[in-house]
Structure 1
Amino acid sequence: MNRDPRIDAYIARAVPFAQPMLTRLRDALHAAASLDETIKWGMPAFTYKGAQVANIAGFKAHVTCNFWRRDAVGEAAPEVVANEKAAMGQFGRMTCLADIPDDKTIAAIVTRAIAKIDAGATTPRPAKRTKPEIAMPDDFAAALTANSGARTHFDAFPPGARRDYLEWITDAKRADTRARRIEQAVQWIAEGKRHNWQYVSC
């Protein structure tokens, strides 16, 4: 096991509520097995024999823990699977220490992941799901056209980023809500921000 000082710094920079949660997850992962630490994609990562086992991340309003071997979750924590869509990672959006699974649950998943790594099993790739296209609403298109910078940024976004904005706007139930979302979207897009820019990690 090694303790990477970059992870110490990452936790120290996190918002106050997230610091004890990140520390708790870090300690639980190390208690489960002899894992090495590093930073990947700007987040604390935990590896075994060079293979990724898990990463943790602190955000403005929640903390996540993501196990790379989803097939290792198995029966170790059936309640985890139900929360998977709530946020990145199998535990959903954790906002307090009570949301973090106990050491036994985490250890069971880590043990399964390590066994699969030792057996030489490759990490299964999740099947790609094709989402239906969302048509560009006329009112949103007009607002983008009225702001050349926003239109340029929006067209340069990858498909997923464009879809995030389209879903947000078309999901509005009221006309005034939709208008406010369009106004806010154009402002963010003109600044080159994607819809979920405020949820970037600490």
Structure 2
Amino acid sequence: MSTKNPAVDEYMAEGCGRCDKVGTPECKVNTWRDGLAELRNVVLDTPLTEERKWGSPCYTYDGQNVVMIGAFKTNYVLSFMKGALLKDEHHLLVAPGENTQSGRVIRFTDAERVVELASVLKAYILEAIEVEKAGLRVDFKKMKDYALPLELQQAMDADAALKDAFEALTPGRQRSYILHIGSAKQAKTREARVEKCRDKIFDGKGFNEY
């Protein structure tokens, strides 16, 4: 049994603290507290170290993030950082977003389900630890595999400074703009998104960074 971290005790009592509902009945952690507590018990019964990162419980092995627990409006999750590499024999894992390459989550809406699946969840966690021990890595799509939205390419062709700023971004940040701009169905919307993203690109930030 791993040692409980006081910072996670605080999370369970008050919430993640990332919005103004912290410590109130409307806090998402409060909504799912019983189920989150059961998930926490399952993870603590493994060799992982309990920490708190990005406001939420994070469980690490040899300094590497392996799983996290999180609360959302309609459900709460056990999130596997390299879930794409797990066998998923019980078909429980889902990608949290259509463009997610590595992470996978198991969603819950009641504590009883966690209790029922406790042994299975623990087996998944132990497999995730073995993945980490083996040093396995997800084979991410390379930037060359992503097509630049035409409107972004045209903007960079017309503005060398924008092109230099975009190419100076990390691959992950570049990808965030490609996906955001390219997801718009209409050309005018894609053009508008390029303009709205200019300042962030020049600031060296990804689309989801503030």
Aligned mates of 1:73, 1:47 — CA distance in 2: 20
SS of 2:206 mapped into structure 1:
coil
Listed as ranges, the matches of 1:154-169 within 5 Å are 154-169=166-181
Post-superposition shift, 1:158? Answer: 0.8
Greater relative CO (CA pairs within 8 A, separation 6+): 1
1:124–1:31 Cα change, 3 Å: same
1:3–1:181 Cα change, 3 Å: same
Q: Which residue of 1 aligns with 2:89?
A: 75
Q: Does 1:30 align with 2:34?
A: no
Report Cα offsets for 1:158-194 as digits up to 9, x if no partner.
Answer: 1231132123323432132122211211133234431
Post-superposition shift, 1:31? Answer: 4.0
Aligned mates of 2:103, 2:112 — CA distance in 1: 12
Q: TM-score, normalised by structure 2?
A: 0.62
Aligned mates of 2:178, 2:128 — CA distance in 1: 40
SS of 1:37 mapped into structure 2:
strand
> Of the candidates 106, 110, 123, which is equivalent to residue 111 of structure 1?
123
Q: Which residue of 1 aligns with 2:156?
A: 141
Q: TM-score, normalised by structure 1?
A: 0.64
Deviates more, 1:16-25 or 1:155-164: 16-25
More helix by share: 1
Aligned mates of 1:60, 1:183 — CA distance in 2: 32
Aligned mates of 1:107, 1:21 — CA distance in 2: 24
Identity across matched positions, percent: 22
Post-superposition shift, 1:30? Answer: 1.0
Aligned mates of 1:9, 1:22 — CA distance in 2: 15
> Of the candidates 184, 196, 200, which is equivalent to residue 208 of structure 2?
196
Q: Which runs of 5 or more structure 1 residues have no equivalent in the other structure? A: none
The one-letter code sitting in structure 2 at the alignment partner of 1:67 is: F
Q: Which residue of 2 aligns with 1:20?
A: 30
SS of 1:168 mapped into structure 2:
helix
Post-superposition shift, 1:111? Answer: 3.1
Aligned mates of 2:180, 2:111 — CA distance in 1: 28
The one-letter code sitting in structure 2 at the alignment partner of 1:75 is: E
The one-letter code sitting in structure 1 at the alignment partner of 2:194 is: I
- What CA RMSD, in Å, does the superposition of the two structures yield over aligned residues? 4.3
Instruction: Give the count of matched residue pairs.
Output: 189
